[in-house]
Amino acid sequence: MTERAEILEKIYQIASTGHVEMFILKTTLSTKPEKMREIYRVTVEDEIVTHFRGLVQRKINWFNTDSDLSFIDFFSDTASDHYICTLSEIGDIPILSHVVAKIKHGSYIISVPNFTEAALDKLQSYAIEIKEGSDRIIYFRKYGKGCKISSTGFALVLKRGKFNKLSGDVFKIDNTVDCIYYEWADQKGLFIINRDNFESIFSFFEIYKEESQSVREILQSSNLVSIVKGLFESIIEKRRYAKKIALINRHGKFTHINFNNIQQLKTRSQERLRFRIEGGKIIIEDKDALADFLDVCDNNILQDPFDSGMLFRTKNKERLQ
């Protein structure tokens, strides 16, 4: 049995017999990772407990039986729908590490007897912890605004601090999981099923933005890249670009720019790559030029083996125009 298979078997076993608790995560106005989420405990019983166990069990069965499923490191790529991302270290994700620490020391978490409308509006996600002694799994699910008003799925009502099933529209629990955290004596890590929701739950835009801010200085110090003033700062305000820049930087691509290779690629593209090369430098004057430069650094430009002048963007096979 492989190590991953052993981990999945252990997760299934904990889900089957462990003690189940539910936690509500609310957003705050703080910018400090340890204070960006408020956590409240909600007691769950009977059918609800069975429902939460079954969600994890079905997800693990899917992991084990879908032969087309691949597992990749979370920071290795932006990942497609049929990848499960993995993480073995949560220290790089400040909000996640603080949330897990607070749930583990659950005696300090306040139980919620009821919800006001204002409290419901600030709900951001929920977590289900299932534990046996010090062995635990915690699965997280993003909570969308539409969840409160949907008439489908598994609806819950909070009465005297306990969630029970009802035929109404109060708090909808659907049939999926965004990520599963696991921890026991010699193992700790994450399986991430829905990357976008995972990044939203733990405010990855702030992480990516902070990491991408250092790239401006890296490119300037290389003396190989010139970016028009203000362009880089404005583009990292967009989540898609901040994420791409941060992930490329994590692989050291910006510190090892091969100018000669980029110049040859630019020539082969017959000027379809929209940055300029002049005076021994890569000149980036607008968003399109920066996007092309990032694609080059991300190995996202592929040459047609039968036509050296035809280049494609690898992830969507879009021909360069």
Q: CB of 301 within 8 A of CB of 268?
A: no
Residue 96's domain comprises 3-202
Answer yes or no: do 95 and 228 share one domain.
no
Answer yes or no: do 141 and 80 share one domain.
yes
Answer yes or no: do 195 and 280 share one domain.
no
Answer yes or no: do 72 and 175 share one domain.
yes
Answer yes or no: do 184 and 247 share one domain.
no
Domain boundary among 202, 220, 248: 202
Q: How far from the centroid of its chain's Cα atoms is residue 211's Cα?
A: 15
Answer yes or no: do 149 and 165 share one domain.
yes
Answer yes or no: do 197 and 238 share one domain.
no
Domain boundary among 178, 202, 226: 202
Task: Give per-10-residue mean pLDDT for the chain (321 aa).
Answer: 90 96 90 89 84 94 89 73 82 91 86 61 87 96 61 47 49 84 94 93 90 90 92 92 91 90 85 88 94 88 68 59 48
Single pTM value for the model: 0.80
For residues 237 and 25, give the distance between their C-alpha atoms in angstroms, rounded to a whole number.
Answer: 25
Domain boundary among 176, 202, 228: 202
Structure-block tokens of residue 257: 């720019």
Answer yes or no: do 32 and 58 share one domain.
yes
Answer yes or no: do 255 and 216 share one domain.
yes
Q: CB of 179 within 8 A of CB of 139?
A: yes
Answer yes or no: do 177 and 230 share one domain.
no
Domains held by the chain: number: 2
Answer yes or no: do 36 and 181 share one domain.
yes
Q: In what order do the strands lie in the sheet with 281-284?
A: 225-227, 281-284, 276-278
Q: CB of 135 within 8 A of CB of 194?
A: no
Phi, psi of 199 (to 5 degrees): -65, -35
Contacts for 92 with CB less than 8 Å, ≥ 6 apart: 207
Answer yes or no: do 143 and 226 share one domain.
no
Q: CB of 37 within 8 A of CB of 26?
A: yes
pLDDT at residue 307, rounded to an integer: 67
Alpha helices in 91-238 (DSSP H): 94-104, 117-121, 195-201, 204-222, 231-235
